[in-house]
Structure 1
Amino acid sequence: MIRVLVVDDQPVVARAHRVFIDRVPGFTTIDVAHDGKAAIARVVAGGIDLVMLDLSMPGMHGLEVARAIQGLPDAPDVMIVTAARDLESVRAAVRYGAVHYLIKPFTFAMLRAKLDHYASYRAAAAGRRDVTDQGEIDAALAALRDPGGAVLPKGMSPETLSSVRAALVAAPEGLTAAQTAEVVGASRVTVRRYLEHLTVTGGCEREPVYGGAGRPELRYRLRTERS
């Protein structure tokens, strides 16, 4: 059983994460901490394999917590779970040893995929023996990654999602479904489905655009705020 410490300053969010984790076979939430100092103290007490760590917390930022945990003897692994989506935070998290970086909000399926890959990695890298060759190391590290990318609803392709996301990146002011469809080269109905998926998973936000007759169109814009 992989023992998890949930660290989030919002009690409601921490409880929700605990429920999700405890639904994944092979994982159990050992404890919950609501600030960085409490998290470090709980890790020092022992019995933790994985820390599910938020970044934006009062007093001590999550990246400081990750760095402090990394310096402890027999340190547990860290998975960042945050609303912060800036690449600077992603690079820092990797620098401080994070095995995964999951953006809020997320679905149970998305979290389960990350945890399942982490469990595969732990199984592949278990023990204190020497590896047989480079291939064994490559296989263990590959277990952390999903070659197919994030879990998508049936009928959606990673390639089209990447094209829709790229169109939004190139238009920080936002795009309607019709405008995105023109850029991507797909139907408006198809593109709207991907835009709505990004909205539901927290990748972008939408707002009505008024001006013409009839119902207003929706403009979609990538979310950039840190949290």
Structure 2
Amino acid sequence: MADLRVLVIEDDPTTGAVYVEYLRKVPGFAHEFTARSVAEAQRFLGARLRETSTFGIDVVLMDIHLPDGTGLDVVRSMRNVGYEGSVLAMTAATDRATIRSARNLGAVQYLIKPFTFADFESRLAAFRQLSTEYTGGGEISDQAEIDRMFGARTEAASSSLPKGLTESTLAAVQELLTHATAPLSAGEVGEAVGISRVTSRRYLEHLTRRGDVTRQPRYGTPGRPEHEYTITAP
């Protein structure tokens, strides 16, 4: 399989250069162009569109906030003319509306800044593997394989979780704590993830039992004693 051609949309020159360097280290990807604004991306894509309906781009690495709009604007315009390639969001934007928009535009990964090369590499390697499977010929009659390709989780795959908890919400809680700049309470986690405080505590206690999260008392708050949670240092 040929290298996947990548368009980077990132307004910060230093960050954009880091992505290009990261791409050089991950097999199967080739950097095509870096756009630092909506206008620059549209000029590049307009020139490419005159050559090929696919823009000559297989993957868009997209930041959200740009000086003259958003990465979502760029991808939306690409989709409007029939672009069927993949989108990976790499951004500091964590509001639900933006995340929904990215997903609705077909983003297959959403990586929150700041992140490490290991985070970057693991996301791209998983995406590359999935892309290889999608490009194969023939038919797939095994439901389990189709579920895996679509990212579905079966009941058996989630059987290690306590009843009522889901892998997707657990991952969201863990991701939030990983990038938090201060310890968070169950109420704060619940509000950020969109679940109740009681449900949030169940996820946090499960992570605590696994050793992924550390719990400690929160001092200086009126009323009932409260706990706060931090990701366990490796």
Q: Same fold (TM over 0.5)?
A: yes
TM-superposed CA distance for 1:39, in Å, is 2.0
Aligned to 1:34: 36
How many residues end up aligned between the 2 structures?
174
Counterpart selection for 1:59 from 65, 68, 73: 68
Task: Tell me if the contact between 1:54 and 1:80 (Cα under 8 Å) persists in the aligned partners.
Answer: yes
Alignment of 1:72-83 (within 5 A): 72-83=81-92
Task: Tell me if the contact between 1:66 and 1:97 (Cα under 8 Å) persists in the aligned partners.
Answer: no
> TM (normalized to structure 1)?
0.64
Structure 1 gap ranges (5+): 149-157, 185-190, 198-227
What is the RMSD of the two structures over their aligned residues, measured on CA atoms?
3.5
Aligned to 1:20: 22
Q: Which amino acid aligns with 2:99?
A: V
User: How far apart in 1 are the matches of 2:146 and 2:176?
Assistant: 35
Higher relative contact order (CA 8 A, sep 6+): 1
User: How far apart in 1 are the matches of 2:72 and 2:186?
Assistant: 26
Structure 2 gap ranges (5+): 49-54, 159-169, 178-182, 190-214, 220-225
Task: Tell me if the contact between 1:40 and 1:69 (Cα under 8 Å) persists in the aligned partners.
Answer: no
Q: Percent of pairs identical after alignment?
A: 29
> TM (normalized to structure 2)?
0.62
CA separation of 1:196/1:40 partners in 2, compared to 1, >3 Å: closer, same or farther? farther
CA separation of 1:5/1:163 partners in 2, compared to 1, >3 Å: closer, same or farther? closer
TM-superposed CA distance for 1:74, in Å, is 4.0
User: How far apart in 2 are the matches of 1:57 and 1:11?
Assistant: 12
CA separation of 1:101/1:22 partners in 2, compared to 1, >3 Å: closer, same or farther? same
Aligned to 2:99: 90
2:6 maps to 1:4: yes
Aligned to 2:227: 183
TM-superposed CA distance for 1:41, in Å, is 4.0
User: How far apart in 2 are the matches of 1:163 and 1:112?
Assistant: 17
Q: Which amino acid aligns with 1:105?
A: P
